[in-house]
Structure 1
Amino acid sequence: MLGENKVRAHVVAFAFPFGSHPTPLLHLVQRLAAAAPDVRFSYFNTTNSNQKVFSKANLHGYDNIKPYNVSDGAPEGHVSSGNPMEAIEFFIKATPDNFRRRLEHVVKETGMKATCLLTDAFLWFSVDMAAELGIPWLAFWTAGPTPISLHMYTDVIHRKLEQIGNSQNQDQITLDFLPGMSAIHVTDLPQEILNLDRPFSRLLHNMSRALPRAAAVILNSFHGIDSVVEVDLKTKLRKILTVGPSPLPSPSPPRDYENGCISWLNNHRAAAVVYISFGTMLTPPPPELAALAEALEEKQIPYLWSFSDDSKRNSLDEFFDRTKTLGQVVKWTPQSEVLLHPSIGVFVTHCGWNSVVETITGGVPMICRPFFGDQMLNRRRVEDVWRIGVGVGGGVLTKSGVMNALDVVLVREEGKKMRENIGRLRECASMAVAENGSSTENFKSLVSLIVTSCHQD
């Protein structure tokens, strides 16, 4: 156990407790804790989110990380409506007091003042809290460079759209007035940028104004993925540290994880299997799921389907039963390991950033069905900029659309070009994490920032 008397710096991490946000922050904390064993790391998150994150995390050997629970803001006895925005808005109302009170308690309990705040970039209030404490704020952006840049241009975008008015169909308007954004359409933008009336939208707008005050903004990305955007961001932020693609610690699999999906993949030829996963937040509606299933069955393509939404899975029970010799459906997969497997030929995905980065690392082309947030932006980059995948026609899964996309990626010449393009991005990622690569050097700079934070006035 790490002796308290040996701990000099105390890094306090604040998580945004929704979606995939808490897990990448914990992974970053784990990397830092391994690189700086004499630094103490306190990880603040809501009770429910902490339980989910730490039940899957492998913290063996990380004696310098300790989780703490903060209030989620929900009234006592409140019964959830099922609308995820309701929980987010309760949480926003509770901040920053929930974090502030818990931090004061932890400092009193441990006798260790915070020397650095490392928080999800969404939690913009951290910049003021850090200033009050006289310590640096390090903001962790869990997505790629394009969406963070667009958030910082929110006011510019609004002024431009007001000038255009109704004179042009929004489907046709691109953001060619912004550096590196000529391929992005207005319709790709997250609603949080277009509509500033909701609490969550205001949270992100405030974040965009606070980020230039951060000592550093950390991205789970790598140099060269969006060079023009990266160069522009450097003119707006004090320091940008791309530290990806992060070598994620192996998570502890669920107790029932004995589905044998890797050994199943071992029995298939190279680039033959369709891997399907839409993340943990949303699943396509039943008609889209049925269309995807019908396309797979008609084309007789082997599939590995990660399907955790039990409420919708029963609609496909007959399909899974009919095709049990063709494919395998599981509740969970070690996704990064799956995408590195040579048998995977294409990934049907929601285009969340973690999935995009893991897909690039695995060298697998994508079929994209985005839902919300930065996923539409990622899809546009995948299809029209990097050319390493295709979107589905009309933004929804149809039988004919899926069959065409499968043909494009697995059979036609375009699919071969996609694999060549993704190979180049994969090489950029490999170079970034090499011994003297940009991400490796940036991570060393980040470690230096947190280690020396206790010496700052």
Structure 2
Amino acid sequence: MVKIYRPSYFRRISIHQTLPKGTALPINSFEELDPPIVQYLKSEFNNFLNVVPFKLTSPPPLANVIDKNCCIEWLDNQEPNSVAYIEFGTVATPPPNELRAMAETLEERKIPFLWSIKEKFMSHFPNGFLENARMFGKIVPWAPQVQVLEHKSFGVFINHSGWNSVLESIASGVPLICMPLFGDHHLNSSMVEKVWKIGVKIEGGFFTKSGTIVALDFVLSKIKEELKKQIGMYKELVHKAVGPNGSSTQNFKKLVEIITSC
């Protein structure tokens, strides 16, 4: 029996009752992110295998990406490390008052941004925002996230700190501003800010105009070089992990051997 879990899943189940029953335990991460935890879990479970998603570190060429909203073309005209990318996934969108606070902050500070948000939520923006924002930002219903995050123009990724988004930020070397909503978001955002030191959690746990300004100033101004250096280190580690002799590559090969021998 092979079970696949996110790391945060361990905090919601009785690991001593369920996980030891598996022949292998592959998870969506890479060993170098949390070495002490990995070593402990390896001693507790059979074939504890960190297998990071290879699409994050080996995305398809841009020529094969369908960028129907011309996000990459727009990004090509922006300054390096200047753009805020905003995306909260398909099931985790902040309430209307927080969307307005974010929009008001971007408009007041004229921060270049790419915001991927479903059209039904755009009605919550302040009056005139969609029109005014065209001068310095781009709002789209969908963006090829893995590919756009690789663009040199990005300075920060604002999201709910879901695990996939955190991994995508690390693989792309883009610092985070986290606004946790539910589930593993709160723990992930704490790890981002306090342990890995690759971003910050929004002040108070929800978007206000003042809190958003503080977070953006923190990431995009005086601390940005420190954050970029820190997340750059993890980016290097994850790319090494999926290299020919990397830990994730070896774990994946082992997982294939286990599955094919069942």
- Which TM-score band (shorter chain)? over 0.9
Poorly superposed stretches of 4+, deviation over 4 Å: none
1:255-334 correspondence to structure 2 within 5 Å: 258-308=68-118, 310-316=119-125, 318-334=128-144
1:220-231 correspondence to structure 2 within 5 Å: 220-231=28-39
Alpha-carbon distance, 1:417 to partner: 1.1
CA deviations 1:310-369 (Å, max 9, x no partner) are 332112163111111211111111111111110011011100111100100110000000
Separation of aligned partners in 2, 1:234 and 1:340: 32
Residue in 2 aligned with 1:410? 220
* Shift in alpha-carbon separation, 1:443–1:295, aligned structure 2, 3 A: same
* Residue among 168, 189, 194 paired with 1:384: 194
Q: CA RMSD in A?
A: 1.8
Residue in 2 aligned with 1:166? none
Residue in 2 aligned with 1:445? 254
Bigger relative contact order, structure 1 or 2, given CA contacts below 8 A and separation 6+? 2
Separation of aligned partners in 1, 2:121 and 2:227: 32
* Shift in alpha-carbon separation, 1:375–1:340, aligned structure 2, 3 A: same
Alignment length (residue pairs): 256
Where 1:247 maps in the other structure, the secondary structure is: helix
Separation of aligned partners in 1, 2:103 and 2:182: 23
Residue in 1 aligned with 2:245? 436
Whichever residue aligns with residue 353 of structure 1, its letter is W
Please list every run of 5 or more consecutive structure 2 residues that lacks an aligned counterpart in the other structure.
none
CA deviations 1:368-405 (Å, max 9, x no partner) are 00111111111000000000000111100011111111
CA deviations 1:222-248 (Å, max 9, x no partner) are 111011111121222111111114226
Larger radius of gyration: 1
Alpha-carbon distance, 1:208 to partner: 6.1
* Residue among 7, 14, 17 paired with 1:209: 17
* Residue among 424, 436, 455 paired with 2:233: 424
Alpha-carbon distance, 1:282 to partner: 1.8
Separation of aligned partners in 2, 1:238 and 1:415: 41
Give the TM-score of the pair, scaled to structure 1: 0.54
CA deviations 1:172-196 (Å, max 9, x no partner) are xxxxxxxxxxxxxxxxxxxxxxxxx
Where 1:241 maps in the other structure, the secondary structure is: strand
Where 2:91 maps in the other structure, the secondary structure is: coil
Separation of aligned partners in 1, 2:196 and 2:73: 32
Alpha-carbon distance, 1:306 to partner: 0.4
Confirm or deny that 1:139 pairs with 2:32: no
Give the TM-score of the pair, scaled to structure 2: 0.92
Whichever residue aligns with residue 169 of structure 2, its letter is T
Where 2:4 maps in the other structure, the secondary structure is: strand
Please list every run of 5 or more consecutive structure 1 residues that lacks an aligned counterpart in the other structure.
1-136, 152-203
> Identity across aligned pairs (percent)?
43
Whichever residue aligns with residue 138 of structure 1, its letter is V
Residue in 1 aligned with 2:176? 366
